[in-house]
A = this chain, B = another copy of it.
């Protein structure tokens, strides 16, 4: 295990209290994590591990990461009248940045397993879009709660959500303690109203929940949103400084159909409508073609792709996200799960491992997409994909304290010859013991502190018959790429 050079802010044995307190006030850090192995990035973004690390958190941010013994007597025994420091002894655990689910439809956990072993057309047209015409705010609320519970237990601290009734999802995000980038999805079939609602949502909710919620404009996809609406979205995004989050070139069929019908690939549609001139998060991109690469290259620095490889295998799509080509262009690829109605889980840890495995296979190269590369996708690249590249994605002084503690003492993760490999290929989401967002512990030793799963499941099951009824024969859209 290599440890990068400590940065100036990560001086061994410089305690938070030494530097940050003005004399007499004795304000304490909010959280101190000791004796963990900390995953860090060096100046070249190479991943390393700091042994016996102490992480000090104050006001939601990481203040210091130091190595070596630390005097915790003050923390363990705060003087009367002072706020107690929360101390987590994390021996045998790895501290790493919380995972980011860069593209999901969180409330769709409600439909987990309802449409199995089907091609995507049938999945949409026979199940998901008919059922979604029954969707009520309450269904979204319960789904979002269950999704947050699942993600927190899987070490996900932030998610980029693209769905309906997003006021509800925002309220649940606030309640859950998670961080999220939220976008109200729209189709052109809704007329101008869909786009206006998406903007209204984005403006009302940006920087809410103590700053944990950021927002996007969320046109569904080039095959369901007309070029004029995409162009209007691009203008609004630039005007208001908003991210745009869209499905595009999801699979090869979509790209082929777009070419056949319009003479342009979905990526070329994004370029032609000005969306590649905005901060843009493209979901999937498994249909990205050779001719798209120079188009995408011109947008490097603004755009990112979210990859959810499990679903591509399950739908038997012929290709996956072209991670290597995107890397050569300098375009971040964040990890994602898509919704649980297709992916069956919101397990970003699994997405990390599958990204490594599927990429090796796809590129016929066992040396490609190493565990450290996978961890880079899971950390800095995912943070950048959701527009939070300066705020999260790394355990470093000044970053938001979105931290997970991963137990590597289990028989399936021992012995450790290469901790990056242990994390990517041996550990599982269930090995996350503690999840922290903005310095607040929202799962401790696998116990959820903000959500009540049995109550959510009970209420959800009462509503299920009405939700999944398809006898009305309606659907909210037609899938015809």
Contact = CB atoms under 8 A, between A and B. Distances in A.
Contacts of A316: 360-361, 363-366, 368
B113 A410 contact: no
A23 B147 CA distance: 55
Given A150-B411, A357-B313, A411-B149, A417 B367 contact: no
A388 interface: no
Interface residues of A, number: 68
Interface string A352-364: 0000111011011
A347 interface: yes
Interface string A367-387: 110110000000000000000
Copy total for this chain: 2
A344 B113 contact: no
A116 B415 contact: no
From DSSP, what is the main secondary structure of chain A's interface residues? helix
A114 interface: yes
A38 to B, nearest CB: 19
A406 B358 CA distance: 28
A411 to B, nearest CB: 4
Interface in A418-469: 418, 421-422, 425-426, 428-431, 453-454, 456-457, 460-461, 464, 468
A314 B150 contact: no
A405 to B, nearest CB: 16
Interface string A98-111: 00000000000111
A367 B310 CA distance: 15
Contacts of A119: 366-367
Contacts of A431: 430
Contacts of A429: 412, 428
A109 B346 CA distance: 28
A147 to B, nearest CB: 8
